[in-house]
Every structure is written in C-alpha cells, then in structure tokens.
C-alpha cells in the first residue's frame, strides 16, 4: 500500500464568498510527514479536511493513491484516515478507554484500548478516567491513540500540539516522530508555528 496524497489544482470558496484555497497543488509522499505551515486563516484546515471529505473542494481534486476521494464513501474514508485536532477533541462524557475505542467494535475494544494507550506513552490505568481529569498533554496523547485505533495508514493532524505547554509539546513532537519511525504512516500535519 502506498498512501500518497495528492492535491491537484484545488480551489475552495465557502458559501459566504470566502476564498479559502486558490489553485493549490501538492503531493504528500507516502510514509513521510508533510507539514502545511502558514499564518492563521490561510486555508490549512480547509485543505486537511478535504482529504477525508469533511469539506468538499469547489474545483480540483484530492487523490489517495491516484483515486479521487470523491469516489469513496465518506464514512469508510473517514474510518480509514486518522484525524487529530487540538486538545484531542475528546468526548467529555466518555472515559478515556471509551474515547479510544469508540471507533472499534465491542469485542476489539478493551485489549485494543490498553495497547493503544501504552503505544502513546500512557498508563492503561487511565482508561477509566474522564478526560477532564487528565493534563492537556495526556488528553492530546489520548487523541493520538484514538486516531491510531483503526490502524489507518494516513493521519491528518490539525495543530495537534498547540494547546499544551512548550515542554510537553516538545515531548509530544519527539514521540510523534518516534511513532512515525515505527509505524511509517503518511502524515499531513498543520501548524502556524514555523519552529514546530
């Protein structure tokens, strides 16, 4: 499996007339990390969300391994692509374990949640806690664990580490690079921070 993402001359205008993306083309190489860097409002999130069809382009196309995403079922597409947002985007009313396993079938759940939490450097004992009782960095780790739950080959990460303090942020960045070395995902990563 290759997992190459291509944007071909993509445009996006929102119904209110905002031109968020204009003639954008890029190939994100398989099994590597591609970072979209730019100031706030320049269209990064819009681009990312077009990959899993949360946003549809006005014109142009987005291809995964040469196949236009518009020909894929949106739900199947989203299940096959991990998505991480700021603060983890966790469900506050679900425990950590349930957050991680929400995308899995019942039988897969317990074991998988334990393994996933360990993979992102968390104590599996945290599985029974609610997100509000975790630190920002821990919440973000849970968000990454959840994105990895269906073992997707592609990970979309939207400012994933922006809400945590600089030291934890550095740790999370290093861990992501290590995970990437082990797992070889195709990562599309959005940030407004040049240093990151």
State the minimum distance, in angstroms, from the CB of residue 155 to ligand ADP: 17
Exposed e or buried b per residue across 43-74, where buried means at least 16 C-beta atoms within 10 angstroms of its C-beta: bbbbbbbbbbbebebeebbbbbeeeebeebee
Q: Closer CB to ligand ADP, residue 21 or residue 120?
A: 21
Closest CA to 164 of 87, 99, 108, 73: 87
Write out the two tokens for 28: 């994100």
Closest CA to 190 of 70, 57, 73, 42: 42
Binding mask 42-81 for ligand ADP (x = CB under 6 A): xxxxx-----------------------------------
Say if CB 114 and CB 142 are below 8 A apart.
no
Stretch that binds ligand ADP, among 27-35, 38-46, 66-74, 125-133 (CB under 6 A): 38-46
Q: Is 105 in the site for ligand ADP (CB under 6 A)?
A: no
Strand bridging mode 186-191 / 33-37: parallel
Stretch that binds ligand ADP, among 10-18, 92-100, 120-128, 141-149 (CB under 6 A): 10-18
State the minimum distance, in angstroms, from the CB of residue 143 to ligand ADP: 18
Residues lying near ligand ADP in the complex (CB under 6 A) = 14, 16, 18, 20, 38, 40-46
């Amino acid at each position: 499996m290759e997992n190459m993402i291509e944007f071909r001359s993509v445009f996006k205008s929102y119904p209110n007339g905002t031109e968020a993306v204009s003639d954008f083309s890029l190939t994100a190489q398989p099994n590597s990390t591609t970072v979209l860097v730019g100031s706030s409002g320049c269209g990064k999130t819009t681009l990312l969300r077009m990959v899993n069809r949360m946003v549809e382009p006005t014109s142009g196309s987005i291809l995964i391994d040469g196949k236009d995403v518009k020909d894929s079922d949106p739900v199947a597409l989203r299940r096959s692509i991990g998505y991480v947002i700021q603060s983890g985007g966790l469900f506050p009313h679900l425990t950590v374990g349930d957050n991680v396993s929400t995308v899995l079938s019942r039988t897969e759940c317990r074991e998988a949640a334990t393994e996933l939490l360990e993979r992102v450097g968390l104590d599996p004992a945290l599985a029974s806690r609610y997100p509000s009782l975790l630190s920002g960095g821990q919440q973000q780790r849970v968000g990454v664990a959840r994105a990895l739950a269906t073992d997707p080959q592609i990970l979309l990460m939207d400012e994933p580490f922006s809400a945590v303090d600089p030291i934890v942020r550095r740790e999370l960045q290093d861990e992501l690079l290590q995970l990437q070395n082990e797992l070889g995902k195709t990562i599309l990563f959005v940030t407004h921070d040049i240093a990151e």
